[in-house]
C-alpha cells in the first residue's frame, strides 16, 4: 500500500514538472515570436521611410527642381562680364601678340 502511494506521488510530481516544462517552452516561444514581430515591424517602418524618401525625391524632380549633373555644376561667369575681364588680363596689351 505504501509503495502504491509512493508511486502515485512520484507520478504526480513528474506530471507537474512536465507541465512546468511545457509552460516554460510556451513562454520561450512567445518571447521569440514577439521578438520576430518587433523586428518585422521595424523593417516595415524602415521600408515606409525609404519609400517616402523616394516619393519626395521623385516629386521634387517632377516639380521642375533642377537635376544637377556634372556639366551643370561648372561655374558660369558669362552674365557677370568676368570672362571678358579675365581675357583682357591674361592677354598682354603689347604688340607681340598681334592678331
- In the chain, where the domains are located: 2-91
pTM of the predicted model, to two decimals?
A: 0.45
Per-residue pLDDT tens digits of the chain, which is 99 residues long: 667 777 888 899 999 999 999 999 999 999 999 999 999 999 999 999 999 999 999 998 887 655 555 555 555 555 555 555 555 555 555 555 554
Q: What is the DSSP string of the chain?
A: -HHHHHHHHHHHHHHHHHHHHHHHHHHHHHHHHHHHHHHHHHHHHHHHHHHHHHHHHHHHHHTT-----TTTTS---GGGTHHHHHHHHHS-SSGGG--
Amino acid at each position: 500500500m505504501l509503495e502504491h502511494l509512493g508511486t502515485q506521488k512520484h507520478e504526480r510530481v513528474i506530471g507537474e514538472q512536465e507541465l512546468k516544462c511545457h509552460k516554460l517552452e510556451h513562454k520561450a516561444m512567445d518571447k521569440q515570436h514577439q521578438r520576430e514581430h518587433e523586428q518585422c515591424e521595424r523593417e516595415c517602418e524602415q521600408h515606409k521611410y525609404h519609400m517616402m524618401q523616394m516619393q519626395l525625391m521623385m516629386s521634387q524632380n517632377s516639380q521642375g527642381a533642377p537635376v544637377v549633373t556634372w556639366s551643370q555644376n561648372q561655374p558660369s561667369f558669362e552674365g557677370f562680364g568676368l570672362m571678358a575681364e579675365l581675357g583682357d588680363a591674361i592677354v598682354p596689351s603689347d604688340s607681340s601678340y598681334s592678331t
